[in-house]
Amino acid sequence: MRRMVVTAIVAGMFAAAAVGTAGCARDTAAGAPPALESSAGDWPAGVKEAEVYAQVLRRYLGTPAENSFPAHTFKTAYVLDQAHPDVLGPVERPERGTPIAPNTQHQISAALAGVAHVAFIADQKTVIETRDGCAQVRDGGILITLGTVDGDDNRVQVAVHGFFACLGATGLTYVVQNQPGTGWQVTGTTGPMVIS
């Protein structure tokens, strides 16, 4: 009797593993990129971050009260290719943050094509030039550093810092919520706003 129970348990484990593996093979075989409309909690790695970051950047670039510039001021937004947990801290970031995956970068750039050209960069020094003693982003662009996504599958906070020229910089933390039927949306801000 005991041997039969153990055999049934082991057989059940193999059956569950086979079903799980078949599901994975089916998803991989489809070869289609994951949709951003997936429900919370079942997204492949990177999709959640892509949608959240796209919404944060859309709000930041399109809201003059939060970035201190008229709408559509920046044709190019240079975004660091790594997120930093202390994005509202010092502008010089000596250590690399958490990398933003290339697939996530591509999804963000595509989602914001109508707002601005989003170019991910590895080093902020590559887009900063000094004119008349004033450090500024080349070609009239803006340099953006994203914070890490902090929260769960329903509500997160993401800080963002944007630098334009001299002392022209702003930073704040957005609250982003997963709205039923519409996905991730910025619902407001939290904490202090940094303006220089």
pLDDT attached to residue 8: 38
Q: What is the pTM of this model?
A: 0.73
What average pLDDT does range 168-193 have in this prediction? 92
pLDDT confidence of 174, banded at 50, 70, 90? very high
pLDDT confidence of 90, banded at 50, 70, 90? low
121/33: higher pLDDT: 121
* Three-state SS letters, the chain: CHHHHHHHHHHHHHHHHHHHHHHHHHHHHHCCCCCCCCCCCCCCCCHHHHHHHHHHHHHHHHCHHHHCCCCCCCCEEEEECEEECCCCCCCCCCCCCEECCHHHHHHHHHHCCCCCEEEEECCHHHCEEEECCEEEEHHHCEEEEEECCEECCCEEEEEEEEEEECCEEEEEEEEEEEECCCEEEEEEEEEEEEEC
Domain boundaries, the chain: 1-32, 47-195
pLDDT confidence of 68, banded at 50, 70, 90? confident
pLDDT attached to residue 32: 36
